[in-house]
Structure 1
Amino acid sequence: MSTTIAELSLSKAYRQAQRAMAAWLERGPAGARQGAFGLRTALAGLDPTERGRLARWLAWLSVAARSRGETLPEGRIQRLDATLHQAMEDALARLPAGVLAAPARIHRRSA
C-alpha cells in the first residue's frame, strides 16, 4: 500500500482530531453533545499549524455542504470551539473567488 507525502506529514494527533471531527459532524444533535468532550480533548492536542489545517479542511467541508444544499456545520463548530470557528471563517474568506458564490446544484437521482 502506498501513501502520499502529504499523508506522511500529518501528525498522529492531527489525524485523530480530524477523524473525531468527521465522526462528530456525522452524528445527530444528541450524539454530538455526547461526543463533544472527546472531540475537545482531541483538539487540545493540536498545535497552531494543525489547528489551521483543520480549519481549512472544515472550510472546504462547509463549501461542499453548501453545494449539496445540506445543513452547514458552522453553528455546531461555533458551539464546540469559538476559536476554531473563527479560524474556519477566516479560511472561508481566503478561498478562491466564486467558490462560496456558486449556486447549490440540484442533483437528480434516478432509479
Structure 2
Amino acid sequence: MSSTSVELNLSAGYRQAQRALAAWLEQGVRAARQSAFAARAALGLLDPSERGRLARWLAWLVVADSYRGDMGLAARVRRLDGGLHLAMEDALARLPMKTVNQAPQNHRLSA
C-alpha cells in the first residue's frame, strides 16, 4: 500500500528538544529560568538539520505571536540561545512574505 502523504520522521532528540522548548515557552519568564537549563541541554544534542527545523518551528511561532500582539518570543529565544535565535531570524526571513508582512492591526479584534 502506497501513501500519498509525506511522513515526517523526527528523531527522539528533536522531539525532546521541541518538548523542552515548548515547556520553556509556556512558562512565565521567572518560572522559565529552571526549564531553560533543560531546553539548552536538549538543544545541544541536535544536529544542524534538526536545529534548522526547530528554528523554522520557532519562526512560525513568532508570526503567530505577532498576530496576538506579543512580540517577546524572539527576545526570549535570543537570551536562551544566540545561535538558535539567528537561525530563527533567518527562517523568519524565508517564510512566505504575505504571511510575515501582514500587519496584525489589520485584523478585526471583535465580531
Q: Which runs of 5 or more structure 1 residues have no equivalent in the other structure?
A: none
Q: Give the corresponding residue for 1:51.
A: 51
Aligned equivalent of 1:107: 109
Query: What's 1:30 paired with?
Result: 30
CA distance in 2: counterparts of 1:94 and 1:100, whole angstroms: 9
User: What is the aligned residue count?
Assistant: 104
The normalised TM-score by structure 2 is 0.87
- C-alpha distance in structure 1 between counterparts of 2:101 and 2:81, whole Å: 26
| RMSD, aligned CA | 1.4
Report how far residue 21 of structure 1 moved: 0.5
Rounded Cα–Cα distance in structure 2 between residues aligned with 1:89 and 1:62: 10
Q: How many angstroms does 1:77 deviate by?
A: 0.4
| Alignment gaps of 5+ in structure 2 | 1-5
Q: What residue is the counterpart of 2:3 in the other structure?
A: none
Amino acid aligned to 1:44: G
- Deviating above 6 A after TM superposition, structure 1's stretches of 4 or more consecutive aligned residues are none
Identity of aligned residues (%): 56
